[in-house]
């Protein structure tokens, strides 16, 4: 019996424990695809390096992909060992990282969409707009639009994890704030 008491208790595996690594994998896959499509999109002398919005799209996808990879490794670790983050501060850090990655993917998608969809006339200091005078397929415009679409798809893959981790943090904060008294009443901590 002494050995049973020394072993840490394993948490039960819930649906979210299985769904979360799958969601992280889809986040990472769409961000890597968005990155690779954008990097390979130069044609006829037009390159993504010529536009500031595409530079932001590239950096946003790299930052969000790094976060998704870190969280995928953490989720797999949690699934294998059955343990989560030890404290409230670590969970708050995860929530903060989730929000940053969510906003980076949304901002990156909007920056790229601003150049490909909304700005077909060309903007200063560029004479030619990103999608001006291009053919629909196998062109710079089509590839950058695909990269933008993948960034928005990654944004929608980030939404459930942000909602889940934020609600989990709110629940844990509320749980710590109210403690039961001996008589069954709840008293707020000062």
The domains of the chain are located at: 14-171
- For the chain (190 residues), the mean pLDDT of every run of 10, in chain order, is 57 76 94 90 75 87 95 87 76 92 93 73 54 62 86 94 90 74 50
pTM of the model: 0.76
- Find all residues with CB under 8 Å of 161, minimum gap 6, and list them: 20, 23, 24, 27, 71, 98
Burial 59-97 (b: 16+ CB within 10 A, else e): ebbbbbbebbbebbebbeebeeeeeeeeeeeebeebbeb
Predicted pLDDT at 172: 85
Q: Residue 143 CB: number of other CB atoms within 10 A?
A: 21
Predicted pLDDT at 143: 84
Q: With contact defined as beta carbons under 8 Å apart, do 64 and 31 qualify? A: yes
Three-class secondary structure of residue 178 per DSSP: strand
Predicted pLDDT at 23: 92
What is the phi-psi region of residue 122: left when phi exceeds 0, alpha when psi lies from -120 to 50, beta otherwise? left
């Amino acid at each position: 019996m002494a050995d049973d008491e020394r072993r840490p208790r394993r948490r039960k595996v819930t649906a979210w424990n299985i769904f979360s690594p799958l969601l992280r994998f889809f986040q990472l896959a769409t961000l890597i695809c968005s990155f690779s499509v954008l990097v390979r999109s130069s044609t006829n002398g037009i390159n993504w390096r010529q536009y500031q919005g595409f530079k932001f799209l590239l950096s946003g996808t790299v930052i969000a992909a790094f976060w998704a990879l870190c969280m995928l490794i953490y989720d797999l670790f949690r699934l294998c060992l059955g343990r989560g983050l030890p404290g409230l501060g670590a969970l708050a850090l995860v929530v903060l990282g989730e929000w940053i990655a969510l906003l980076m993917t949304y901002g990156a998608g909007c920056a790229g969409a601003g150049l490909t969809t909304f700005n077909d006339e060309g903007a200063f200091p560029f004479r030619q707009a990103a999608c001006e005078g291009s053919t629909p397929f196998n062109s710079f415009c089509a590839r950058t639009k695909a990269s933008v679409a993948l960034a928005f798809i990654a944004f929608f893959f980030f939404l459930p994890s942000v909602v889940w981790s934020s609600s989990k943090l709110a629940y844990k904060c509320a749980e710590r704030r109210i403690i039961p008294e001996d008589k069954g009443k709840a008293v707020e901590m000062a």
